[in-house]
Amino acid sequence: MYHAIPYVFEKENNIYIDVRSESEYKTGHIIGAINLPILDDLERHEVGFIYKNASVEEAKRVGLKYGSEKLHLFYDALFKLRQDAPQKNIIFYCARGGYRSRSIALLLRSIDIPVFWLQGGYKGYRNEVLNKLNQSEDAYPDFIVLNGLTGVGKTHILQELATLGEPVIDLEGAANHRGSNLGAIGTDGYQSVQCFENSVYDQLMRIEHATYCFIESESRRIGQVFVPKTMFNKMQTGSFLLMTATIAFRINALMKDYSNEANFKSGILAGLPRIKPFMETEIYNALTDSFEKDDLLKFTELLLVHHYDPLYKKSIESHQHTHKFQVDDYVQCSKALIDWVTNSFLAQSE
């Protein structure tokens, strides 16, 4: 019961406890893992300094002291987890499956709490992630790529498709960014490369046996991160479907999606200077004037007609689209997409 176990993708029966420091966790972690640091950032720095400059044994002693002082916090957290999910395995992990995860597991063993620690730690998990993302293009499912102008609701349609049980990859969700110069609105504006890759891996593993997958058309860069190269290449050979909607629908959808976000105004003000080089001075002045007057209807229309639509049309025209779908209701459009997959896409594959 008390031993290291190798990483296997399993969401139903495992609970992962990340015992690394807060900054290590923020840089990258197993999706869904709970962060319970044995050493916080300052303590880890102190132990590392002792390890390198004084004594390995003293570093172990200080680390054990800090860890044992937190034992009651681990006990309380694990007691609740075992109450909520008594049948699930509790698995600790640290950077490489060494001192931190093993020591806390053995301490908990002494008070009869059944736990495991992850063989190879987070590093071993990352090897699994990178192997999956760097697989050959043929190993990826066939991508059905939703394309269309800003505001047609591609992300909403993906969400509805997932609700209806269809295989979906949400790259913007993984990137914590909505794409474009204003894509950080509604997010905290941060995503690490590792967390993005881990999230994409997690989504791929959830649809591992699917032969096809719905995904949104993206440039390779989304915010601060990049779509894995082989995955991006496979996307470009997918079946592109064009989503269309009236400009009134798109304006209303964008205003609903963005205007109530806490960082809406700050996000717009931060993004406008990046948009300025792509617009004529007269149009840009009208854009900023409408925003200052809180005329969001006019602001959104100017932004679409004079900035986003010209940019996206170039990308849209670079692809051949297998079929076109009019969007006026996300649920109905999603059902139409499923019908198309069943009656056309899958039928042609047989």
Please give the domain boundaries of the chain with CATH numbers for all domains.
4-130 (3.40.250.10), 136-349 (3.40.50.300)
Q: Is the pLDDT of residue 324 over 60?
A: yes
pLDDT reported for residue 111: 76
Contact 244, 327 (CB under 8 A): yes
Q: How many residues belong to the chain? A: 350
Rg (CA), the chain: 24
Contact 198, 25 (CB under 8 A): no
Count the Cβ atoms, other than its own, within 10 Å of residue 218: 18
What number of CA atoms fall less than 13 Å from residue 343's CA on the CB side? 7
φ and ψ at residue 205, rounded to 5 degrees: -70, -30
Render pLDDT for 70-103 as a digit per residue (tens, 0 to 9): 888 888 998 899 889 888 888 999 998 777 888 7
Contact 201, 131 (CB under 8 A): no
Contact 40, 24 (CB under 8 A): no
Contact 230, 133 (CB under 8 A): yes
Report percent pLDDT > 90 for the chain. 61
Mean pLDDT of 124-136: 96
- What is the token pair recorded at 266? 């700050």
- Confidence class for position 226, pLDDT limits 50, 70, 90: very high
pLDDT reported for residue 194: 97
Residue matched to tokens 């950077």:
95
Give the chain's end-to-end CA distance (angstroms, integer): 47
pLDDT reported for residue 17: 94
What's the rounded Cα separation, in Å, for the pair 40 and 24?
10
Mean pLDDT of the chain: 89
What number of CA atoms fall less than 13 Å from residue 271's CA on the CB side? 20
What's the rounded Cα separation, in Å, for the pair 291 and 289?
5
User: Which of helix, strand or coil describes residue 311?
Assistant: helix
Mean pLDDT of 29-49: 94
- Confidence class for position 2, pLDDT limits 50, 70, 90: low
pLDDT reported for residue 187: 63
Provide the CA 28 distance to its chain's centre, in angstroms: 11
